[in-house]
Amino acid sequence: MQASLPSTMTEICISTPGKADVLIPREAEVPLPKPGEVLIRVQAAGVNRPDVLQREGSYPIPPGANPVPGLEVAGTVAALGEGVTTHAIGEDVCALTNGGGYAEYAAVPAGQVLPLPKGVSMVEAAAIPETFFTVWANLFQLGHARRGEVALIHGGTSGIGTTALMLCREFGIRAFATAGGREKCEAIRELGGEAINYRQDSFVEVVLANTEGRGADVILDIMGASYFADNLATLARDGRLLLIGFLGGGIAAHVNLQTIMAKRAIVTGSAMRPRSSQEKAAIAASLREQVWPVLAQGRCLPLIHATYPLARAADAHREMESSQHIGKIVLTV
Ligand SMILES: NC(=O)c1ccc[n+]([C@@H]2O[C@H](COP(=O)([O-])OP(=O)(O)OC[C@H]3O[C@@H](n4cnc5c(N)ncnc54)[C@H](OP(=O)(O)O)[C@@H]3O)[C@@H](O)[C@H]2O)c1
């Protein structure tokens, strides 16, 4: 089933791995939804750090995934693949894609498509899926963060960090968060977090001093190797360390592993992109039940730092790489 569709569209391709100017608009065929897929006429697409890593050639995409960047979109359902009964043509939706979001049309497995939460704009909705799926799957599902616990969120003003802080406040978790400057620390406080400027202070000392030496029950980490020893030192007994990014390297040397045993610590982590459509659909269902009602009440809405037209995706990447942003950067179509 489909509304009348053009045969071609504009998409942004990675012409060759490299700096932001390798992102080039080009004409491509409008994809046809395969059985079980929904075709979305994209109105906004979120930009995420994994897109930058993919563009640089340092994030190999899973086999068979769309090589066009873009992990999340919002828009209107334009066509339904065979067997899809959960969505209707003309419905406003947002979706976690398997790539291909930087385009006028994107085909997405139906289980990864969610209705637009009531009152949420297309730009806001496009900024939700990637970080909400990731934070929910890691901090809450894998990390079992619970009401009354203490969390430490690294990169507190990143897309991931701002989402984690809002969800911690919503679900009654006290959150410390790191950032690299005064303005970013202020933004963390506005999101209900306890800010730590990592350029001035040791997060280990701040968290321990403010929890009577107990530490953090759960840590959401985007740095990897450079923070591994300090993260273990900050964990409370029975604490959980979730590794979801490696901006500080992937190989940790000289780490005292006895800390893991002494604290009964759990060190784990996960990547969203290589998960199966079934796993992503299960996360979507959990978000729809537990987080969509919160969004529809106007809480936990993503912080939009800037928007750029699709054709200026390269400028959006440059802005992300400057690391000056607080919250999300979104492309409009
Ligand atoms: N595992 C998963 O499924 C998954 C999914 C999505 C994202 N991620 C990861 O989560 C992290 C955050 O993603 P995002 O899209 O939220 O990114 P983002 O908005 O660009 O935020 C990254 C932040 O990290 C901080 N940072 C510290 N050291 C850095 C360095 N060496 N290079 C760049 N930034 C540095 C910067 O803030 P300061 O100025 O405070 O340093 C920056 O704003 C990335 O590592 C990404 O790969 C993982």
* Number of C-beta neighbours around residue 21 at 10 A: 11
- Please tell me the total number of residues recorded for the chain in this structure: 333
Domain 8-128+273-332 indexed as CATH 3.20.20.70: no
Q: Cα of 237 to ligand 1 centre, how many Å?
A: 27
d(CA 260, CA 238): 9
pLDDT digits (tens, 9 = 90+) for 156-215: 999 999 999 999 999 999 999 999 999 999 999 999 999 999 999 999 999 999 999 999
- Nearest-CA residue for ligand 1 atom 19 is 158
Name the segment(s) of the chain with CATH classification 3.40.50.720.
132-269
Is the CB of 184 inside a 6 Å radius of any atom of ligand 1?
yes
DSSP code, position 140: I
Angle at 308 between CA 306 and CA 312, to 5 degrees: 140
Give which of 141, 135, 165 is closest to 153, Cα–Cα: 165
d(CA 64, CA 125): 26
Is the CB of 138 inside a 6 Å radius of any atom of ligand 1?
no
User: Can you give the pLDDT at residue 60?
Assistant: 87
User: Can you give the pLDDT at residue 64?
Assistant: 86
What residue type is 124 in one-letter code?
E
Is the CB of 31 inside a 6 Å radius of any atom of ligand 1?
no
Which runs of E-coded beta strand occur in the chain?
A: 8-14, 23-29, 37-47, 72-80, 92-96, 105-109, 113-115, 150-153, 174-179, 194-197, 216-221, 235-243, 266-269, 304-309, 328-332
Is the CB of 187 inside a 6 Å radius of any atom of ligand 1?
no
Q: Cα of 195 to ligand 1 centre, how many Å?
A: 17
- Nearest-CA residue for ligand 1 atom 37 is 155
Name the segment(s) of the chain with CATH classification 3.90.180.10.
8-128+273-332
Contact 241, 232 (CB under 8 A): yes
User: Which residues 6+ apart lie within 8 Å of 318 measured at CB?
Assistant: 20
Which atom of ligand 1 sits closest to the CA of residue 269? 1
- Nearest-CA residue for ligand 1 atom 35 is 247
Is the CB of 163 inside a 6 Å radius of any atom of ligand 1?
no
Pocket residue to mutate for ligand 1, from 47, 48, 139, 324, most atoms within 8 A of Cβ: 48
Angle at 113 between CA 141 and CA 145, to 5 degrees: 15
* Number of C-beta neighbours around residue 115 at 10 A: 16
Contact 88, 53 (CB under 8 A): no
Give which of 121, 177, 169 is closest to 291, Cα–Cα: 169
Distance of CA 234 to the CA centre of its chain: 24
Compute mean pLDDT per 10 residues along the chain, 333 residues long, and list them.
84 97 98 97 98 94 93 98 97 98 98 96 98 98 98 98 98 98 97 98 98 98 98 98 97 95 98 96 98 98 98 98 96 98
What residue type is 287 in one-letter code?
L
Is the CB of 329 inside a 6 Å radius of any atom of ligand 1?
no
User: Can you give the pLDDT at residue 287?
Assistant: 98
Tokens describing residue 24: 């080039």
d(CA 52, CA 219): 24
User: Can you give the pLDDT at residue 3?
Assistant: 61
Give me the CATH code for the 132-269 domain, please: 3.40.50.720
Per 3-state DSSP, the chain is made up of helix, strand and coil in percentages (nearest 5) of: 35, 30, 40
User: Can you give the pLDDT at residue 156?
Assistant: 98
User: Can you give the pLDDT at residue 98?
Assistant: 97
Q: Cα of 138 to ligand 1 centre, how many Å?
A: 15
- Nearest-CA residue for ligand 1 atom 2 is 271
Which residues are paired to 9 by β-bridges? 28
Which residues are paired to 220 by β-bridges? 153, 242
